[in-house]
Amino acid sequence: MKKITINDVARHAGVSKKTISRVLNQEPNVSSETRKKVEKSFTELGYRPNPQARALASSQSYLIGLLYPSQSNSYVSNIQKGALERCRAEGFHLVIYPEDHENESLISQFESNLNSSNLDGIILTPPFADMRKLLDLLKEREIPVVRVGAISALDSIPSVISNDAEASYEMCRYLISIGHHKIAFIKGHLDHGATEQRLSGYTKALKEAGIPILDQFIQQGNFSFESGEDCARRLLSLKVPPSAIFASNDYMAAGIVKVAKQKGISIPHDLTVTGFDNAPASRYIWPSLTTIKQPITEMAIEATRMLIRIIRKKPLEKLSTTIRNELIVRESSAPAKT
């Protein structure tokens, strides 16, 4: 099949290249008559405009980059889902860049990626959304950016965030309301801003309820299953163990469930375990986890929508959007034994 170019169509329709281009880009000032004629030629010839040529001439690539941590989990797949939904609707394509955020040469590597792709815009997920150097690079390059789940409220860069601190607070309120006051908390990876946020909700709720905050009840995890196991072993061998453990993500919660079961501790009868994120695993394990559902997909949809507006140079309604988390009560939580 021979390639059809804009010149072929112009000849076939008996108009100039530029008019074809006008129809292609839905520009005004084309009589409906010629428009019809041109569109007819499109279908008759099976014309497909060359994206690269348009990109060169218009300096737009219709590519959006998504940067996320490479220790990929369900968070990422939900982000991708949301971003893609918008991209597709708007004629953009999504190019993915998983990166190790602890990699020393991250910036320079990412820069060379940038050089070879000419993205129209970039979506940043945690912890990249808070990396100053990265933001500076992108600013210097004048590449539009939207940040998802960022912590630092940056003056000028648009972002979509969720209310992690509040959700964490709500979870603790729930645990307290069903009679728990020996509540332990497992922190996440220190590089993630969410870690701090989630902890703050915990301390706030306990303080408010007049429950003392005990050092030994706050353990440092790193969002991995294994770190959950480790923390659980420590917590469950305390002289006075907690009656509820709130892990700041579901993988760590799953680790806790495993260790508890191995020790013959019944969940939720003897111990309540809750997580954060509503990862798929939170449904697959037994008992299924009480957790916080993060509207990740929705956040990505909104972020992408904003990004495309910026790319199109349309004004943004607001610089920052918050999307609310939601408590999901399942089987792993029950009233404290009296």
Residues of this chain that bind a copy of itself (CB under 8 A): 1, 48-53, 55-56, 59, 61-63, 70, 72-73, 76-77, 80-81, 84, 88, 91, 93-96, 98, 113, 115-118, 140, 225, 251, 254-255, 257-258, 261-262, 280-281, 283-286, 288
Place of tokens 């020790």: 263
**Best CA proximity match to 6, nearest among 18, 51, 52, 62:** 18
Nearer to DNA, 58 or 177 (CB): 58
Q: How many angstroms separate the CA atoms of 258 and 291, rounded?
A: 17
Nearer to DNA, 59 or 156 (CB): 59
Q: 315: which DSSP letter?
A: P
Query: Nearest approach, Cβ of 79 to a copy of itself (angstroms)?
Result: 11
Q: What is the dihedral of CA 330, 331, 335, 338, to 10 degrees?
A: -170
Segments of 60-134 assigned E as strands: 63-69, 93-99, 121-124
CB 138 within 8 A of CB 122: yes
Element (H, E) at 148: strand 145-148
Q: At what angle do helices 32-45 and 17-24 cross, to 10 degrees?
A: 90
Place of tokens 């940040």: 147
Query: Nearest approach, Cβ of 28 to DNA (angstroms)?
Result: 6
Place of tokens 């790319």: 311
- Judged by beta carbon distances under 5 to 8 A according to partner kind, the member of DNA, a copy of itself, none in contact with residue 14 is DNA
Query: Nearest approach, Cβ of 10 to DNA (angstroms)?
Result: 8
Q: What share of the chain is helix, strand, coil (3-state, %, to 5)?
A: 45, 15, 40
- Judged by beta carbon distances under 5 to 8 A according to partner kind, the member of a copy of itself, DNA, none in contact with residue 338 is none
Nearer to a copy of itself, 45 or 316 (CB): 45
Nearer to DNA, 114 or 211 (CB): 114
Given the rule CB under 7 A, which residues bind DNA?
3, 5-7, 14-22, 24-25, 28-31, 33-34, 47-50, 53-54, 56-59
Query: Nearest approach, Cβ of 24 to DNA (angstroms)?
Result: 5
Q: How many angstroms separate the CA atoms of 219 and 247, rounded?
A: 9
Nearer to DNA, 3 or 133 (CB): 3
Nearer to a copy of itself, 80 or 197 (CB): 80
- Judged by beta carbon distances under 5 to 8 A according to partner kind, the member of DNA, a copy of itself, none in contact with residue 81 is a copy of itself
Nearer to DNA, 7 or 72 (CB): 7
Query: Nearest approach, Cβ of 301 to a copy of itself (angstroms)?
Result: 14
Query: Nearest approach, Cβ of 118 to DNA (angstroms)?
Result: 10
Query: Nearest approach, Cβ of 98 to a copy of itself (angstroms)?
Result: 6
247, exposed or middle or buried, with CB in 10 Å at 0-12, 13-18, 19+? buried
Residue 263 phi/psi, 5-degree rounding, is: -85, 5
